[in-house]
Amino acid sequence: MAAASRISSLLSRSLLSKGRICGLGRSVVCSYTTAAALEKPITPSINVNYTKLLINGNFVDSASGKTFPTYDPRTGDVIAHVAEGDAEDINRAVSAARKAFDEGPWPKMTAYERSRVLFRFADLIDQHTEELATLETWDNGKPYEQAAKIELPMISRLIRYYAGWADKIHGLTVPADSPHLLQTIHEPIGVAGQIIPWNFPLLMFAWKVGPALACGNTVVIKTAEQTPLSALYAAKLLHEAGLPPGVLNVVSGFGPTAGAALATHMQVDKLAFTRSTETGKIVLELAAKSNLKPITLELGGKSPFIVCKDADVDKAVELAHFALFFNQGQCCCAGSRTYVHESVYDEFLEKAKARALKRSVGDPFVAGIEQGPQIDSEQFEKIMRYIRSGVESGATLETGGERIGDKGFYIQPTVFSNVKEDMLIAKDEIFGPVQSILKFKDINEVIRRANTTSYGLAAGVFTQDIDTANTLTRALKVGTVWINCYDVFDAAIPFGGYKMSGQGREKGIHCLSNYLQVKAVVTPLKDPAWI
């Protein structure tokens, strides 16, 4: 909760500038704080030192010698050229991980020794927050304050959480109906393949690596091609903490080559994937067609945020704004369908529009900036197509809808009203700063409408009535329901989705089962004193 409060406080800061006229086929009053987006971007004060693949404890070139550029979303300029891994590099990485698991010290270490490595890693994360946050912002475009003050503390906390679990993973002695000693043993599953997304590169690195290593597995992780830099730096810190060679291998590359090779590899024992539902289907099929490796999927969402008639409208507006616009709207659980009761709809709409107009957009390295650029030109164009679709389908563009500046990938915070369920902006995961506000009459109606989607990742409920909260909590078909809060990501809270939002859970105790095998051991008892 404290982390969520800090995020909300951070994102609520804004400066109100002069009004101007903009729009998409109509006049819309806008007064965004956009000066920072139009100024010369700040030059980060660190060097990019890690651009090669990390295989068997060493930074190495790709087998092909190829590299690819990673871009600054503030400008579209190249930050660095990174080694481009493909199938041969995945083979090398999996071989290293296989040997480290079958022969190496990591799974043979005591659980306490593994926990000490992870605790040291968490300490190093805290010591290198500036470097990690700078790489994250530079490569991704998220506000530096968000990365440094919110996400990095969450990451080190999560690593410590799983470090604490390492020596507490144990089986049971099971009562038997016959003279036998029955035991269950939890064993590491083996080589874990992991594919992480670009919207929260370091956070997803921690969500994947933390539990896998705590359970004694070895790992091959493929970073998103848009954001390879921070994971390479973090992996270097893990080795400084004492991780043996081959236990963690990092391959930067593209989905159809490196990602597909990891998903189909016959020596990978488990796969974890976070990204879109469409790609998740492909990854699931590839895993099934290879060695039937188990897979956890954290996929897309179209989360409802429900504002009930008894809500404190001012607080609901701020929370709904945060639920949607956080991280430039590039969040799988974003509250992207804002359902508002008809009795407070008009008041909510006016205040939501005013809040969007106050949002500060610009260079994410500038203090006080709430919204940086979108990740790249592809995502930028996708969002703009959805905005055009909203206008063309008859929704009312209340504010925003345009590009900011002519360099980089900045989009005005956008608010639509009069949104209907059959519009693309209400059905599809936009993954951008576009808020769709819908009107409802009663609880039964909003439950039905909220559940009429193929997604089921999360939901927000804003009400002062405990009975209403309980009804909605149990009726909504989602993996997480936030009541009068949003995006609370405590290390112990399991996260995952219903329906096409994924399979399995990440974080918390439930995540450990993803990386463990359960073995039953049965031993006869001769002349037992008792059974």
One-letter identity of residue 500: M
Q: Which residue has the tokens 């005591």?
A: 110
The region, left, alpha or beta by phi > 0 then psi within -120 to 50, assigned to residue 327 is left
Angstrom distance (rounded) from CA 482 to CA 461: 6
The region, left, alpha or beta by phi > 0 then psi within -120 to 50, assigned to residue 411 is beta
C-alpha to C-alpha distances, 108 to 101, 102, 111, 242, nearest whole angstrom: 9, 9, 9, 15
91 neighbors 261 (Cβ within 8 angstroms): yes
Q: Beta-carbon neighbour count of residue 530 at 10 Å?
A: 5
Angstrom distance (rounded) from CA 362 to CA 360: 7
Q: What is the DSSP letter of 449?
A: H
- Reduced to 3 states (helix: H, G, I; strand: E, B; else coil), residue 68 is strand
Active-site residue, selected from the candidate residues 298, 370, 429, 506: 298
How would DSSP label each residue in 213-246? HHTT-EEEEEEPTT--HHHHHHHHHHHHTTPPTT
Query: Any catalytic annotation for residue 392?
Result: no
How would DSSP label each residue in 39-93? SPPPPPSS-----SEEETTEEE--TT--EEEEE-TTT--EEEEEE-B-HHHHHHH
Distance between terminal CA atoms of the chain? Answer: 47
Q: What is the DSSP letter of 478?
A: S
- Which of 313, 315, 322, 321 lies closest to 346, judged by CA? 313
Q: What is the DSSP letter of 359?
A: -
Angstrom distance (rounded) from CA 371 to CA 31: 15
207 neighbors 233 (Cβ within 8 angstroms): no
Angstrom distance (rounded) from CA 512 to CA 505: 9
- The answer to whether the Cα torsion of 26, 30, 36, 39 is positive or negative is positive
3-state secondary structure string across 122-163: HHHHHHCHHHHHHHHHHHHCCCHHHHHHHHHHHHHHHHHHHH
Catalytic residues: 298
